[in-house]
């Protein structure tokens, strides 16, 4: 059958389904099947046509059941299984066009396509996603949302040609510049050194003795309330939690319900989470006022301390100073900005910390090997050397494997200036590209094509394997995994906090293993694996409670 036949058949059926009332009424029950048949036919025709081209390829629209709604229902109700299902059914070698109402996006899964897109990241933004999160998750003031929507100045030091945004109002640029500067170099080292000292103090204050085991019903909840305060104190200072002891309770009520906010659950169906979010905003406003009355946030020069108790790290002081200069940035808007950073700091870090601790203490052989690496990274005086720890091969492999298996995010890029080109395809200006981190992470073919056959043969990608990222010489390696291992995104917008997150995860485990013995008691719990209902919105918590018991390992080192 030649091309004219396909054109004729496709055009005929498309015209028929395009008019809802063609020739005779179509019943509501038959319309979805006819729609799916026609869109499937069109999808395969485009694939066939693209196979004969090297350029000017057409992005095939994935089949759908309902006209006008397109893919809105599966993207709203079960986005992660729907996206993964497309690649399992049709492979990863071609992109997929998706439509949610009037919004058009392109899903790419081929690692080579992902790399090509990331290399041109300077022309992209994630503005639509940012506006969505500000509105749905953070309940940002309309004035703040409008500020983000109108900022067309880009991320470069020099604003884009034609932009009229004032220098002090370049909110995207200041965010990126500040986080990249203060989560790297000497500032990162200061955070990495402070976190284990802060966490160590918190752990020393726990009422856990070496004489007897203490049982807890849920390891994840324990880490939420005992570990995350140290992270908040390290970055935001000690006064926030000193002044508001219930802050972490409200935060985790808000965080565990994040997917409900993002899906648009109304407040009358989730009064507790909405109340917790309101409490957080009011608390952050109160904290800002107190901090401003006791410390000048513009004191960020080289001679100023890297950390002080009111505003915490220089990162927070600089953000506060930048926001104070922006027109119309009122206390509610500033509190929203801080809540967004807190969400990224804790929601993205805690589930991986849990999985690291869980797998290490569940496997005695792995635990023994990791204990040795921690011992090798600890000075004779008992001080943890973070530079040595983050370079340990097995610890790095466990870290990378935890993120591979338990992070499920979509990485979105908006073609705000110019089109996006990759492998003969084009996403026109105004379009969106979406990548789902779990596709490459779980695709055996992609790993084999990347030359990582050993990593796949060690264990199926669906399971945890502590040594997956070690080569034959037991050296940690990420070679060939660009476009496959994407827990932090990619390109210019790769998560700037990834280095601190790594140090935080490894330091938490190191201090735990140094101070405590832990036994996982899964037989008495509800654990069913990761909570895939949290995908594709970030790191995956456990799907149920994991009971455990803990006791202190004798005398605590300094």
Q: How far is residue 334 CA from its own chain's centroid?
A: 22
Q: What are φ and ψ of residue 332, in 5° steps?
A: -65, -40
CA distance 117 to 269: 40
CA distance 69 to 49: 26
- Residues near 111 by beta carbon (within 8 Å), at least 6 away in sequence: 440, 446, 449, 450, 482, 483, 484
Helix (H, G, I), strand (E, B) or coil at 555: coil
How many residues does the structure list for the chain?
558
Q: CA angle, corner 169, sides to 168 and 170, nearest 5?
A: 95
Terminal alpha carbon distance of the chain = 78
Output the CA torsion 351→357→358→362 (10° steps): 170
Q: What DSSP letter does each residue of 482-498 carry, written as one string?
A: TTT--TT--GGGS-TTH
**Per the annotation, does 297 bind a ligand?**
no
Q: CA angle, corner 187, sides to 290 and 168, nearest 5?
A: 60
Q: Which of 400, 394, 392 is nearest to 376 (CA)?
A: 392
What percentage of the chain's residues is helix, strand, coil (to nearest 5)? 55, 10, 35
Helix (H, G, I), strand (E, B) or coil at 514: helix
Q: Which residues pair with 106 in a beta bridge?
A: 97, 433
Cite the annotated binding site for heme by residue number.
Answer: 495
Cite the annotated binding site by residue number.
Answer: 495
């Amino acid at each position: 059958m030649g091309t004219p036949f396909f054109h004729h058949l496709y055009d005929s059926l498309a015209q028929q389904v395009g008019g809802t009332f063609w020739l005779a009424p179509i019943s509501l029950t038959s319309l979805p099947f006819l729609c799916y048949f026609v869109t499937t036919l069109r999808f395969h025709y485009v694939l066939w046509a693209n196979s004969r081209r090297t350029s000017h390829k057409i992005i095939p629209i994935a089949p759908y059941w309902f006209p006008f709604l397109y893919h809105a229902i599966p993207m709203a109700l079960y986005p992660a299984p729907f996206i993964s299902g497309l690649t399992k059914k049709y492979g990863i070698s071609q992109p997929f066009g998706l439509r949610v109402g009037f919004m058009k996006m392109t899903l790419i899964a081929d690692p080579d396509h992902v790399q090509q897109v990331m290399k041109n990241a300077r022309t992209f933004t994630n503005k639509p996603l940012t506006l969505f999160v500000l509105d749905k998750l953070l309940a940002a003031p309309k004035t703040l949302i409008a500020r983000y929507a109108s900022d067309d100045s880009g991320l470069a030091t020099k604003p884009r040609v034609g932009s009229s945004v004032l220098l002090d109002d370049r909110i995207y640029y200041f965010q990126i510049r500040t986080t990249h500067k203060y989560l790297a170099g000497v500032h990162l080292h200061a955070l990495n050194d402070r976190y284990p000292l802060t966490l160590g103090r918190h752990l020393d204050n726990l009422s856990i003795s070496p004489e007897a085991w203490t049982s807890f019903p849920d390891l994840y909840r324990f880490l939420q309330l005992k570990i995350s305060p140290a992270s908040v104190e390290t970055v935001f200072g000690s006064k926030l939690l000193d002044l508001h002891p219930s802050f972490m309770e409200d935060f985790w009520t808000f965080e565990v319900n994040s997917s409900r906010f993002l899906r648009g659950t109304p407040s009358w169906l989730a009064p507790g989470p909405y109340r917790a979010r309101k409490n957080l905003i009011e608390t952050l406003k109160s904290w800002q006022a107190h901090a401003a009355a006791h410390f000048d946030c513009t004191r960020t020069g080289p001679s100023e301390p890297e950390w002080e108790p009111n505003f915490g790290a220089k990162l927070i002081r600089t953000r506060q100073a930048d926001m104070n200069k922006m027109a119309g940035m009122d206390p509610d808007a500033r509190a929203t900005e801080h809540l967004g950073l807190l969400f990224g700091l804790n929601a993205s870090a805690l589930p991986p910390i849990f999985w690291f601790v869980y797998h290490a203490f569940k496997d005695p052989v792995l635990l023994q090997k990791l204990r040795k690496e921690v011992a090798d990274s600890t000075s004779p005086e008992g001080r943890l050397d973070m530079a040595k720890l983050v370079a340990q091969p097995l610890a790095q492999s466990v870290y990378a494997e935890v993120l591979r298996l338990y992070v499920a995010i979509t990485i979105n890029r908006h073609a705000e200036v110019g089109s996006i080109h990759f492998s003969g395809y084009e996403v026109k200006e105004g379009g969106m590209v979406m990548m789902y981190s779990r596709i490459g992470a779980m695709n055996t073919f992609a790993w084999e094509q990347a030359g990582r056959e050993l990593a796949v043969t060690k264990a199926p990608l669906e399971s945890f394997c502590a040594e997956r990222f070690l080569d034959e010489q037991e050296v940690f390696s990420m070679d060939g995994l660009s476009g496959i291992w994407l827990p932090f995104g990619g390109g210019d917008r790769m998560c700037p906090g990834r280095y601190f997150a790594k140090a935080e995860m490894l330091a938490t485990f190191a201090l735990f293993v140094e101070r405590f013995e832990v036994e996982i008691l899964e037989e008495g719990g509800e654990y069913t694996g990761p909570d895939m209902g949290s995908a594709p919105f970030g790191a995956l918590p456990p799907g149920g409670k994991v009971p455990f018991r803990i006791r202190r390992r004798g005398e605590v080192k300094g």
